[in-house]
């Protein structure tokens, strides 16, 4: 998912080869309590005869963590209906697509699809020597105006979790942040993880650069659950179990899918979609990379032929995540050719020329830096950093945290943020303008006009005192 100097790089050699498997979601939980083959009934007998060697089991081997309550007042209770999910192991020589298609024909099956395997991943800073090169921190329209926002917040008091496959946690610009691993294996693409963390969490010191939200309580969670198992959904649920309402979860991942010619957002997989909705229901802000497939997501169809990512389709499914695309570093910002786009995209940010920690890919040097990190891998941490700063600002002003819907409304507001060069053609939303958002909210509060009675409601700028025009205009 990352691009460095405009190039897509080869996979990490440390990534193990995993067998194909099909994810099955049943229409209802089976009454026999986890006996996967019995849950499928006759359709399984037919499948086993047609495809010798296939095996079926519950997707989740343990319910640990799936019924836990998150901290911070989230309601207790099941996080996901784990019994409805089965995994079908596909032996070599058989085609996962064919098996999934056969299973979808069964009345008991809501959906079945080949699971996407490991894919390459989509404050005063005067004494941080690389900070001057971090143009995405600058004022709008060039950047997000984090330097101005640091007068009010640095991320302190807000939890931030990065989900991907590996990190260089001992990097000299990250070590002092004491970033902990929630669960899973720190296995691959360590330089990529370091670059992502560098954008958000690089500490304010005399080395390297500075993160957008260096005061955040930062942790990581891996899609590699063990060295032989990989699951984006299970990693999400593991993070949710230890996060608080108002925290920010970044999905630094993309996936393959039978109907897509290239990489698409991970939420196209039904199990991952369900896991995201669980996170959102618990008040967690989910920032999701839009993927580097150069795909019009409005035209994407799932295995049932439904346009689930098209907001204008009757089949649209909204996970509640904030979906991020990649644009040029130069203003006015244009969608970069590799970025996915469409009505489902909420925000964009720089997808090139990002100065950050690590080598951006597979290296583990603790003193490496790069100047041209990019892709939706580079764009989504910028938006995640904005989310953390805004949550910290609200905490500092004794306001409740934004809800997932409220923060998405603010970050996607065309009247508050920086539009792309050609919104009607780019279809990548807007880039957050922290100064405009915070000043507008402060103006509303000082005027006594409580236009947002709760964090669920979008801001209505027309009801508040103006804060001045955006330099390149609003749309």
237 has a pLDDT exceeding 90:
yes
Q: How confident is the model at residue 62 (pLDDT cuts 50, 70, 90)?
A: low
**Do 188 and 64 fall within a single domain?**
no
**Do 199 and 89 fall within a single domain?**
no
**Do 81 and 123 fall within a single domain?**
no
CATH number of domain containing 322: 3.40.50.200
Distance from CA of residue 363 to its chain's centroid?
23
pLDDT in tens, 113-149: 999 989 888 743 445 567 778 999 999 999 999 999 9
**Do 162 and 307 fall within a single domain?**
yes
Cα–Cα–Cα angle for 464, 465, 470, nearest 5°?
105
What is the domain extent for residue 370?
119-431
Report the C-alpha dihedral over residues 154, 160, 164, 166, rounded to 10 degrees. Answer: 70
Give mean pLDDT, residues 348-360: 95
**Do 30 and 132 fall within a single domain?**
no
Q: Does the residue 440 lie in any domain?
A: no
**Do 110 and 125 fall within a single domain?**
no
pLDDT in tens, 73-116: 444 455 788 889 999 999 988 999 999 999 999 999 999 999 99
192 has a pLDDT exceeding 60:
yes
**Strand bridging mode 109-114 / 180-181:** unpaired
Q: Per the structure block, which two tokens stand in for 405?
A: 């819907």
Query: CB–CB of 375/122 below 8 Å?
Result: yes
Q: Looking at residue 475, what is its pLDDT?
A: 27
Q: How confident is the model at residue 446 (pLDDT cuts 50, 70, 90)?
A: low
Query: CB–CB of 268/300 below 8 Å?
Result: yes
**Do 100 and 194 fall within a single domain?**
no
Q: Does the residue 442 lie in any domain?
A: no
How many independent structural domains does the chain possess?
A: 2
Q: Does the residue 439 lie in any domain?
A: no
**Do 71 and 199 fall within a single domain?**
no
Give mean pLDDT, residues 381-398: 97
The pLDDT mean for the chain works out to: 88
**Percent of the chain topping pLDDT 90:** 75
Enter the pTM of the model.
Answer: 0.90
Give mean pLDDT, residues 433-444: 92
pLDDT in tens, 39-52: 888 888 889 999 99
**Do 130 and 83 fall within a single domain?**
no
């Amino acid at each position: 998912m990352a691009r460095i100097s405009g190039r897509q790089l080869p996979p990490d050699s440390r990534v193990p080869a995993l067998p194909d498997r099909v994810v099955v979601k049943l229409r209802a939980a089976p009454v026999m309590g986890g006996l996967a083959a019995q849950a499928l009934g006759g359709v399984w007998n037919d499948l086993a005869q047609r495809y010798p060697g296939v095996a079926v089991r519950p997707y989740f081997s343990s319910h640990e963590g799936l019924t836990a309550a998150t901290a911070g007042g989230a309601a207790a209770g099941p996080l996901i209906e784990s019994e409805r999910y089965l995994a079908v192991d596909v032996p070599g020589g058989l085609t996962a697509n064919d098996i999934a298609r056969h299973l979808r024909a069964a009345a008991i099956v809501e959906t079945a699809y080949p699971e996407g395997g490991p894919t390459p991943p989509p404050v005063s800073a005067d004494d941080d020597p690389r900070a001057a090169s971090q143009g995405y921190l600058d004022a709008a329209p060039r950047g997000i105006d984090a330097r101005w926002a640091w007068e009010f917040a640095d991320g302190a008091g807000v939890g931030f979790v990065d989900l991907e496959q590996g990190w260089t946690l001992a990097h000299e610009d990250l070590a002092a942040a004491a970033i902990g691993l929630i669960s899973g294996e720190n296995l691959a693409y360590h330089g990529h993880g370091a670059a992502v963390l560098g954008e958000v969490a690089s500490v304010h010191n005399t080395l390297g650069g500075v993160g957008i939200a260096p005061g955040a309580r930062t942790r990581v969670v891996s899609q590699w659950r063990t060295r032989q198992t990989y699951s984006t959904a299970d990693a999400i649920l593991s993070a949710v179990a230890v996060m608080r309402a108002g925290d920010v979860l970044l999905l630094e991942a993309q996936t393959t899918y039978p109907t897509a010619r290239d990489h698409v957002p991970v939420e196209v997989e039904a199990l991952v979609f369900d896991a995201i909705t669980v996170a959102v229901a618990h008040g967690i802000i989910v920032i999701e990379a839009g993927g580097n497939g150069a795909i019009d997501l409005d035209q994407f169809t799932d295995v049932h032929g439904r346009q689930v990512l098209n907001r204008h389709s009757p089949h649209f499914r909204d996970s509640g995540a904030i979906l991020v695309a990649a644009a040029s570093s130069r203003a006015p910002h244009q969608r970069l050719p590799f970025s996915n786009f469409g009505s489902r995209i909420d925000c964009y940010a720089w997808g090139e020329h990002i100065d950050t920690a690590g080598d951006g890919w597979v290296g583990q040097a603790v003193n490496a830096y790069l100047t041209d990190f990019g892709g939706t891998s580079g764009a989504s941490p910028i938006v995640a950093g904005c989310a953390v700063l805004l949550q910290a600002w609200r905490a500092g002003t004794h306001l409740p945290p934004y809800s997932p819907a409220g923060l998405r409304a603010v970050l996607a507001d065309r009247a508050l943020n920086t539009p792309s060069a050609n919104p009607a053609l780019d279809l990548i939303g807007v880039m957050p303008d922290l100064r405009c958002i915070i000043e507008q909210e402060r103006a509303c509060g000082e005027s006594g006009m409580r236009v947002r009675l709760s964090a669920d409601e979008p801001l209505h700028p027309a009801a508040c005192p103006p804060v001045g025009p955006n330099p390149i205009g609003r749309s």
